[in-house]
Structure 1
Amino acid sequence: MARITRRQLTNLLGALGVVATLGGLGYGLPAIDRSLPSGRAVRTDEPYLIGAGVTVVPPPGAVLDVTGTRPGETEGTVLFRLGAVRYAIAVRPFDGDLEAAAARLRKRIVDATGYQVTGAQLAVSTAGGLAGLQGGYTAPGRGGRYAVFVADGLTIEVTVSGDDLDLGRTLPAIEAGTRTLRRDGAPR
């Protein structure tokens, strides 16, 4: 019968310690993450920096959803929730005009299964002077609106979705928030 040496026992204990640590990280951290709320209060009386120098004043009642928010120097996304309504803004580098940006956003919308663009596309502008295009879309059990702006080599895409009742109640506040979008000339 083989005899276990002190060195082998030390190695075995070390290996078990590593396995226990990895197991704790693999199961413990996701459990902690799931226990933390994804919604964070956000001030609705001052601009929120999305990324690349683009800001928006969130509408009253908006909650920041950290699972869909990624600020950055050259691009960024923010996801607000107003009850069951999803209000997302994405800022990305873009080398094209407004028509091309709108066509790209509409394509992404219709490429999602069950989504389709509805109605005419209309001109829209922000209080800060950004000119854009807006329209609507539908999905099974949901309605939505989109707007797109192009400024200083960036595209700013706004998508809003929710069931018709919730969307109808929150859309005026969301549209007022969207009108506060500005590009403040931060370095790219």
Structure 2
Amino acid sequence: MRKVTRRQLMNLLGACGVVGALSGLAIGLPALNHALPSERPVRDDRPYTIGGGVTVVPPPGARIDVTETRPAQDNGSVLFRLGPVRYLITVRQFDGTLQDAATRLRQRITGTSGYQVTGSELTITAVDGLEGRQGGYSGPGRGGRYAVFIADGHTIEVTVSGADLDLGHTLRVIDTSTRTLRYARERTE
């Protein structure tokens, strides 16, 4: 039988250390991720930057769902939750008309099995004059509202969904928040 050298023993201990560290990361990081809350409170007294120069003042009592919020320079999204009600705003680069954007959003909604657009589409205007289109939709056990705006090569899509009773309690504050949408044109010097 061969004798184990000090070098081999050190290599074995080093390999065990690497395996232990990787195992700790593989188990520890997901456990830490699950321990952190996915929703965080957000201030409702100042605008939240979504992306592409678009901001919105969150409704009172809203929480941000960090698992689905992606603020960015040119595009972005934010998911606010008011209890069980979802309030999602998405900003994307877009080259088309307001009618094109509204049609595209309606098609995405009705492309989900069981969902349909309800009622007529109306004009909506944000406080700084940003004009858009707004409508309603329904799905299995849920209702919702959508709005879409166009601002300098970007589409701003708003979707709200929840059970009818929950929506009845929150739509007023969500409508107020949606009307605070602003687009700030970037200045070049």
Q: TM-score, normalized by length of structure 2?
A: 0.94
The answer to whether the 8 A contact 1:56-1:180 is kept is yes
- Alignment match, 1:8: 8
Unaligned runs of 5+ in 2: none
* Amino acid paired to 1:44: D
Distance 1:144 1:23 in 2: 45
1:73 aligns with 73
Q: 1:38 maps to which residue? A: 38
**Per the alignment, in what secondary structure is the counterpart of residue 157 of structure 1?**
strand
Query: What is the percentage of aligned positions where both structures have the same residue?
Result: 64
Corresponding residue for residue 140 of structure 1: 140
Q: Are positions 1:59 and 2:56 aligned together?
A: no
Q: Secondary structure at the match of 2:11?
A: helix
CA contact (8 A) 1:52 1:187 kept: no
How far did residue 63 of structure 1 move? 1.1
Aligned length: 188
Q: Which residue of 2 aligns with 1:113?
A: 113
1:6 CA displacement: 2.3
Distance 1:140 1:57 in 2: 30
Deviation at 1:113, TM superposition (A): 2.6
Taking the TM superposition and a 5 Å limit, the aligned residue runs for 1:94-105 are 94-105=94-105
What residue ranges of structure 1 are gaps of 5+ in the alignment?
A: none
Corresponding position of 1:172: 172
Partner of 1:50: 50
SS in structure 1 at match of 2:67: helix
Determine helix, strand or coil for the equivalent of 1:155. Answer: strand
- CA RMSD of the aligned region, Å? 1.5
CA distance in 2: counterparts of 1:81 and 1:111, whole angstroms: 23
* Number of the residue aligned with 1:22: 22
Distance 2:174 2:185 in 1: 24
**Alpha carbons of structure 1 residues 105 and 2: separation in structure 2 relative to 1, 3 Å:** farther
Distance in 2 (alpha carbons) for counterparts of 1:154 and 1:112 = 24
Mapping 1:117-132, distance limit 5 Å: 117-132=117-132
Q: Closer, same or farther in 2 for the Cα pair 1:4/1:159, shift >3 Å?
A: same
Name the CA distance, whole Å, in 1 between partners of 2:67 and 2:108: 21
State how far apart, in whole Å, the 2-side matches of 1:186 and 1:13 are: 57
Could you say if the C-alpha distance between residues 70 and 187 of structure 1 is closer, same or farther in structure 2, counting changes exceeding 3 Å? farther
**How far, CA to CA, are the matches of 1:186 and 1:162 in structure 2?**
35
Q: Give the conservation status (yes or no) of the 8 Å contact 1:93–1:155.
A: yes
Q: Measured at CA, do residues 25 and 52 of structure 1 come closer, stay the same or move farther in structure 2, by a change above 3 Å?
A: same
Measure the CA separation in 1 of the matches of 2:139 and 2:92: 25
| Deviation at residue 159 of structure 1 after TM alignment | 0.5
Would you say the 8 A contact 1:53–1:187 is kept in 2? no
| Higher mean displacement: 113-122 or 137-146 | 113-122
C-alpha deviation, 1:5, in angstroms: 2.6
Deviates more, 1:121-130 or 1:105-114: 105-114
Alpha-carbon distance, 1:187 to partner: 6.2
